[in-house]
Structure 1
């Protein structure tokens, strides 16, 4: 089941209200996924600075965070640490080793927030309508292959400024997981979607761009899936060759939008004159600034 939304702005017009539009789109997809929800938003970057988003079930762990040189912004069960790039890797390793903390994502622009609960509650808790940025993706989950947990919620991020949301199921994710492990890539959750995210990150680390990595997924990942992927400057969409999961896209001079159903796009400005289409099976769609 699950619901996916995404919005990639091509001009400045929608960037101040990106979060508002993503929130409305996400909440519209509630009946496709009432178990948990999450969003990734790409905001402004500061040269020489890296952001690390962490989550804790116990808010006291966030209040007690003491990271030298880091500015810490607490948002409900998450905290965004902004720190010098040359200390980010060591800090991330320290955070990952701290009991009770989960690293949601890192990068110069990305912030990821996800929790168990209805999309309307998740959006409110993290202040999604007030967020601004160039692009963002969101997911509402109906758990089928693993437990309803924060770990199982989307988006999944396995590389700097990269994330993925997924609707569907991969039949060969365990074999891909083992192959990635042999090549030094670990996947922490049981979710097949994190395997897909790690696959794309690994492919891009090997020199492919996002479009080429998505092309490779058609050969290496089996099952039925719709992927929406974000990078620091890009936005990509891919459906499997059967394409049994619903998907619709819309494009204007100001934006490109994705929704599992058209109703997720219906409130976007200019939708009445947008080019609206169903993305073709096994075709990579990719926009980049």
Structure 2
């Protein structure tokens, strides 16, 4: 079933409240998927490369990691530990070398970019959000997901959002019927999903289209031609936020827009605590129609 939320701020006055508002939205969707949850926050851009990592044994994996990466790169590295995750700030051009080093250490990469941070774990949304201090996070936009696993195991890697390119991530409600064929096509292009989750295939598809020069709207339009099944996708990029539903649109979805924000929820109750919601324009996104906003 799953529950999706998203919030894109048009104005900066709500930036300090982004994490708190998203947390409330996601908790309201708990009964749509209680096995795992995750949120992507787009905050201030770093001067270098920002990489979110995760380990099941963070005390062991993260001890000394900052010093080791400093020595490896011969350049300053900063690390902020957040429960089972950590956010690394790395010098530009170091991604490949750091990826190889982390793979040797068995440390997972959740996402890479300049402004995006991703936090996801097994558990209820309220517990996952509390572990990572999501309520205290500020930013311009973010998306979240609470999962009811159907096609793959209940694991951290199976949780959404999925990020397969810099500052880009995707959450999904539904199921894709042709994901194995698309997976093979993407692998030939160099976009190789790391899990069996069909949502990661969709994320790789969006990344491949963006790499080919498409904008976010064009990439989302491509899903209507190339991905079969029933789906609602909500996608975040460094500057944007987009939504698309399949032509049947059997999965519930609702949107709200004011002068200050655009919000997405699987159900209207996700909007209950948003400021000014009583004056918002509220509508159900049309089937096979792309909606996107960029800063």
TM normalised by structure 2 equals 0.96
Matched, 1:57 2:56: yes
Residue 77 (structure 2) aligned to one of 63, 70, 77:
70
Matches of residues 22-41 of structure 1 in structure 2 within 5 Å? 22-41=22-41
User: How far did residue 266 of structure 1 move?
Assistant: 1.1
Which residue pairs with 2:126 in the alignment?
Answer: 120
Q: Deviation of residue 74 (structure 1)? A: 0.3
For residues 45 and 93 of structure 1, the distance between their equivalents in structure 2, rounded to whole angstroms, comes to 24
Long gaps (5+) in structure 1 = none
Alignment length (residue pairs)? 287
CA contact (8 A) 1:119 1:140 kept: yes
3-state SS, counterpart of residue 185 of structure 1: coil
| Distance in 2 separating the partners of 1:219 and 1:46 | 36
Question: Aligned to 1:277, which of 267, 280, 283?
Answer: 283
Q: Which moved more, 1:273-282 or 1:182-191?
A: 182-191
Q: Which residue of 1 aligns with 2:213?
A: 207
User: Can you give the 5+ residue segments of structure 2 that lack an aligned partner in the other structure?
Assistant: 71-75
| Structure 1 moving runs of 4+ over 3 Å | none
**1:234 Cα deviation (Å)?**
0.2
Q: What is the Cα-based RMSD across aligned positions, in Å?
A: 0.8
Tell me the distance in 2 between the aligned counterparts of 1:24 and 1:202: 33
Q: Which residue of 1 aligns with 2:73?
A: none
Q: Distance between the aligned counterparts of 1:17 and 1:274, measured in 2? A: 18
1:286 aligned partner: 292
Secondary structure of the residue aligned to 1:207 is coil
Tell me if the contact between 1:62 and 1:78 (Cα under 8 Å) persists in the aligned partners: no
Cα deviation per residue 1:232-278 (whole Å; 9 max; x = unaligned)? 00000000000000000000000000000000011100000000000
1:194 aligns with 2:196: no
Q: Note the alpha carbon deviations across 1:16-44, whole angstroms, 9 max, x for none.
A: 10000000001111000100000000000
Is this contact kept in 2: 1:39–1:155, CA < 8 A? yes
Q: 1:164 deviation in Å?
A: 0.1
Conserved? CA contact 1:52–1:92, under 8 Å:
no
In the TM superposition, what is the alpha-carbon distance from 1:85 to its structure 2 partner? 1.0
Structure 2 residue matching 1:181: 3-state secondary structure: helix
Q: What displacement does 1:184 show?
A: 1.9
- 1:79 alignment counterpart: 86
